Amino acid sequence: MKRIYFDYAASTPVDPAVTAAMRPYFSKIFGNPSALHRFGQEASAAVFKARLGIAKSLGADYREIIFTGSATEANNLALRGAVKSFVYSQATAFRNQNIFAPAAKISSPSARWSRLSSGTKPSVSAGCSSKQSAFVQNFLQPKIIVSTIEHESILETCRDLEKDGIEVVYIPVSKDGIVDLKKIKTALDERTVLVSIMHANNEIGAIQPISAIAEVISNWKLVNRKKIPIFSCQLPVTSYPLFHTDAAQSFQYLDCRPENLGVDLMTLSAHKIYGPKGIGVLYARNWQMVNSDSGIKSQRTNYQLPITNYISPIITGSGQEFGLRSGTDNVPYIVGFAKAVELISNSRELENKRVGKLRDYFWRGFKKINSKIAVNGSMKERLPNNLNIYFPGNRAQELLIKLDLAGIAASLGAACSSRVSKTSYVLRAMGFSLDRASSSLRFSLGRQTAKRDIDYTIATLIKFLKIRR
């Protein structure tokens, strides 16, 4: 039986060259990269080389590359780490000013924003000065802005943060799956810690206008810089709101250089680009290039850098990854990630054209089956390997099983959600009916996809689709 794979958006096979690059680090160069002896130094050198390679592909500094255990962890570090640092920065500002009497102290930063979420302000002792009152009244409750179609590692993290009193604003999308820039602009205020909008959606392949969003945020900073509350002179006011994008799906196909996108934080995943599972990256702009006494100027940006780090670790321990992600570095997987990045950087343009032509050929084949078949999302602002197809009158789960029995792998949507058979929240957020969301399948192409695979799939679908002519 044929075996045809149309689920490259869920995961990709490890490239043989990646496997070969990783192999020595399982048994030959196996030392702990934190160790001082030669075995450790060899492993550490491999990590450093990999970090340099990934940084070069992004036009970044090697110290801006933070290795994590997955893209999900990188997303968590971006969101939770930014909120944690924002709250701690405020606590530091209060402490450094020494404005509170003992009775005014609150047990923890968590308690501070929990009180704010219930509509109360920290209290101060009788006889407080006007400066003390201003500090208290201007204590900022953290706020995050995300779209309604983000990956679940973003949305579920936001829902968890909401339980702790963090405000989250969910920006709607159009029928094409594109975020509303005007609503992002309206949602921005002095409490906004971070805006997180994915570069390209994992279900429908919709490419978001990241550079335009970055411009909206940058313009807001310029206009509102003087409106920051009194105590914010102690905070990295020129960094907030931070801008994060999840580029796990887009990195293989699009220009993801942070300087071009205008982002502060960016998530990458190895297993989406023919690398190993279990390794991710968080790009964090200039976070470590900070003078603890005064702000410094970046050589690559025009705005002043923060006087405190703008993300804090969520996994603590021995302080690996510049103190942002503790845990022994996974040397083989880090090496594999870097090799995968090298390979896609060398083949991106040609592969984009090849896969794009196959995708369009696939779409024409669907239309030949029946004109009622429709694509979900825009065919223009879309990753070249993605098709999300609506089959009216057919249950997607039934189609998926029939295709699988014929040796064809497709997907209901996000791989992380498919096993529980949930209706696509992405399609529902785009305004499509429950019936349409329940009758749609994702086909994502990759390096091994050939024209004959598409022909076989179309011929197979013709046999059992209820809408065939």
Q: What is the pLDDT of residue 301?
A: 39
Residue 393, pLDDT > 50, answer yes
* Per-residue pLDDT at 120 exceeds 80: no
The DSSP output letter for 206 is B
- Compute the average pLDDT of residues 218-236: 65
What proportions of the chain, in percent to the nearest 5, are helix, strand and coil? Answer: 45, 15, 45
- pLDDT confidence of 315, banded at 50, 70, 90? very high
Q: Per the structure block, which two tokens stand in for 166?
A: 């963090």
Distance CA 100, CA 112 (A): 14
Least confident of 38-42, 219-223, 404-408: 219-223
pLDDT of the residue at 286: 79
Asked if pLDDT for residue 290 goes beyond 50, the answer is no
Summarised one tens digit per residue, pLDDT across range 124-159 is: 444 455 555 555 555 678 999 999 999 999 999 999
Cis peptide leading into residue 241 (ω within 30°) = yes
Q: Two tokens at 47?
A: 């990590």
DSSP 388-425: EEE-TTS-HHHHHHHHHHTTEE-BSS-HHHHTTT---H
End-to-end CA distance of the chain: 27
Percent over 70 (pLDDT), the chain:
80
DSSP per-residue letters across 102-141 = GGG--S-HHHHHHHHHTT------TT--HHHHHHHHTPPP
- pTM above threshold 0.85: yes
Stretch 430-459: mean pLDDT, rounded? 98
CB distance 436 to 389 below 8 Å: no
Q: What is the pLDDT of residue 90?
A: 75
If you average pLDDT over residues 285-305, what whole number do you get?
43
| Domains of the chain in sequence order | 4-13+348-464 (3.90.1150.10), 62-329 (3.40.640.10)
Q: Is the pLDDT of residue 235 over 70?
A: no
Catalytic residue among 128, 158, 233, 416: 416
Strand partners, 143: 167, 192
Residues 6 or more apart whose Cβ sits within 8 Å of residue 80 = 157, 161, 314
The model's pLDDT over 353-363, given as tens digits with 9 standing for 90+, comes to 999 999 999 99
pLDDT at 310: 84
Burial class (CB in 10 A: 0-12, 13-18, 19+), 469: exposed
Lowest mean pLDDT among 228-237, 344-353, 369-378: 228-237
Question: What mean pLDDT, rounded, does the chain reach?
Answer: 86
The strands making up 167-171's β-sheet, listed across from edge to edge, are: 65-68, 280-284, 265-269, 242-246, 192-196, 143-147, 167-171
Whether the predicted pLDDT of 100 surpasses 80: no
* Per-residue pLDDT, 298: 36
Amino acid at 53: G
pLDDT of res. 141: 87
Query: Considering only 252-266, 271-285, 323-337, 413-427, which range has the smallest mean pLDDT?
Result: 413-427
Confidence of residue 109 (pLDDT cuts 50, 70, 90): very low
In this predicted structure, the answer to whether residue 110 has a pLDDT above a threshold of 80 is no
Q: Catalytic residue at 256?
A: no
CA dihedral 372, 375, 377, 378 (to 10 degrees): -100
Query: Which pLDDT score, from 0 to 100, does residue 168 have?
Result: 98
Helix axes 109-117, 71-97, angle to 10 degrees: 90
- Contact 287/300 with Cβ under 8 angstroms? no
pLDDT confidence of residue 119: 46
Rounded average pLDDT over 196-211: 98
pLDDT at 297: 37
